[in-house]
Amino acid sequence: MRVLMVCLGNICRSPIAEGILRQKAAEQGIDVATDSAGTAAYHVGEAPDRRMIMTAGKNGIDISDLSARQFVKADYQNFDLIYAMDQSNYDNMIRLAATESDRQKVRLILNESNPGSNAEVPDPYYGGDQGFQHVIDLLDVAVDKVIERIKTNG
């Protein structure tokens, strides 16, 4: 299974979503390829936001090796599940999709933990430090459900 996490800048939400999934999968011996991307190109090549690296570290998760890239159309072929952090990311990826099978790969990640809610992972970029921990708390629960889905569907 190949899972891509997507947000706007690929420096706050999607890198930590990738880091949480990568760590849980390794701990549980689950075979999953993980990556993340941003719909925008502002931060391509940059490491995750230092505030997210620091908050992740306090939670025992190391994302300091990750580097931002932009979402590309080839990602529809290269991944089985593509998780949007918010509605805007979701809409952008649905717009770029060429086929129904591409569109079906795209999901809002918090619908895993809160089915049908269409809830969003709030963008912490312009807020205070507590926003980063809130993102981690939301994604920790959602990623457990992603892992359950992978275990069920292979």
Identified binder of ligand 4NP from the candidate list 5, 13, 17, 108, rule CB under 6 A: 13
Q: Is 19 in the site for ligand 4NP (CB under 6 A)?
A: no
Active site residue 123: yes
How many angstroms separate the CA atoms of 26 and 128, rounded? 31
In the complex, what is the shortest distance from the CB of residue 113 to ligand 4NP, in angstroms, rounded to a whole number? 18
Q: Is 63 in the site for ligand 4NP (CB under 6 A)?
A: no
Which one from 7, 35, 49, 86 is the annotated catalytic residue? 7
Angle between helices 50-58 and 13-28 (to 10 degrees): 30
Query: Residue 2 contacts by C-beta under 8 Å, 6 or more apart in sequence?
Result: 32, 33, 35, 78, 79, 80, 81
Two tokens, residue 87 = 């509605």
How many angstroms separate the CA atoms of 86 and 83, rounded? 9
Between 19 and 150, name the residue whose CB sits nearer to ligand 4NP.
19
CB atoms within 10 A of CB 77: 10
In the complex, what is the shortest distance from the CB of residue 129 to ligand 4NP, in angstroms, rounded to a whole number? 14
Q: Is 5 in the site for ligand 4NP (CB under 6 A)?
A: no
Between 12 and 25, name the residue whose CB sits nearer to ligand 4NP.
12
Active site residue 7: yes
Q: Is 8 in the site for ligand 4NP (CB under 6 A)?
A: yes
Name the residue whose CB lies closest to ligand 4NP: 9
Span near ligand 4NP by CB under 6 A; candidates 10-18, 25-33, 97-105, 141-149: 10-18
How many angstroms separate the CA atoms of 56 and 133, rounded? 8
DSSP 36: E
Active site residues: 7, 13, 123
